[in-house]
Chain A
Amino acid sequence: VGHAVLAINGAEVNGRVTADGKDVMEFLSNPANYPVSIRFGRHRLSSNEKLMLASMFHSLFAIGSQLSPEVGSSGIEMLETDTFKLHCFQTLTGIKFMVLADPRQAGIDALLRKIYEIYSDFALKNPFYSLEMPIRCELFDQNLKLALEAAEKAGPFGPGS
């Protein structure tokens, strides 16, 4: 069905192994561990896959704005397929924020702007973060996670539903 186990009892799962090294199938087949909460979702992209996606999309975004019959068109803001929607927000400084989401997920525009704020706070205001490098800031990750969870909870009708 294309879905993978993403987390068990709140702790993220890496492939077939839980965060503390147990095998997922073993854990699930042991009734002593029930009740158990399992989060399913689309398989997460690896870092390499993300890099490839970003660099490919960077070019496509630019080509999109040139191909457009409208003068002064922006680049590709949204790419919709049967299985996912890719949203892209480009800032005036040229930074692009991309979100891959379920096609029915609403509130992505607000999410992209929230992510811009989180980036400008927890990445840029951290003096030890160098511009254009991968962001390895814990506070950034934490706040990003919170924002994503809030958007996911809101479901197909956006926050406040």
Chain B
Amino acid sequence: NSELFTLTYGALVTQLCKDYENDEDVNKQLDKMGYNIGVRLIEDFLARSSVGRCHDFRETADVIAKIAFKMYLGITPSITNWSPGGDEFSLILENNPLVDFVELPDNHSSLIYSNLLCGVLRGALEMVQMAVDVKFVQDTLKGDSVTEIRMKFIRRIEDNLPAGEE
């Protein structure tokens, strides 16, 4: 049942807004919380989906959009706007379960409401040795027609590689 989920997330964001009073800090907290979720969620994902290691960023994009998003949010974003180097792509979300029924008021124009998702993706990928940058570049809450998340591969995390993965 997604209503409770939407309400719970909404309660979380509004409480953070009360606690922190400025949008930037709330965005940071959402990212941090998302990160803590991501580092745990990845194990659940790997345990349940039996997906193997991705050989390149394109495979990673496919797995994220077609398996992970489907599994956890019930949606399948489309993958577009690949950079020429193959190290950046966009996820286009037609609908975002976190923002059902939500309208951003004018006094929170720099709030990235669903920033938790960026943290989750960042945390999860870090646990499989990928450093990425994730950010929203379009948001239906801000009047854009779609919600677009841009993901950029920064580097492979070489310290603490699991044995056998060099």
**Chain A contacts to B: CB under 8 angstroms:** 61-62, 64-66, 72-75, 90-95, 113, 116-117, 119-121, 124-125, 131
Contacts and interface: CB of A to CB of B under 8 A. Distances in A.
- Of listed B48, B53, B164, residue having the most chain A CB within 10 A: B164
Contacts, number: 58
The size class of the interface chain B forms with chain A is: 10 to 19
A75 B165 CA distance: 9
A116 B47 contact: yes
B42 interface: yes
Contacts of A120: 40, 43-44, 46-48
A121 B45 CA distance: 11
B163 interface: yes
B46 A93 contact: yes
Given A113-B47, A117-B47, A117-B48, A125 B164 contact: no
Given A92-B128, A93-B127, A93-B128, A119 B43 contact: yes
A92 B47 contact: no
A121 B160 contact: no
B151 interface: no
A75 B162 CA distance: 9
- Of listed A91, A92, A113, A119, residue having the most chain B CB within 10 A: A92
A80 to B, nearest CB: 19
A90 B165 CA distance: 11
A94 B160 contact: yes
Given A72-B164, A73-B164, A94-B160, 11 more contacts: A62-B163, A74-B163, A90-B163, A92-B46, A92-B162, A94-B161, A117-B48, A120-B47, A121-B44, A124-B44, A131-B39
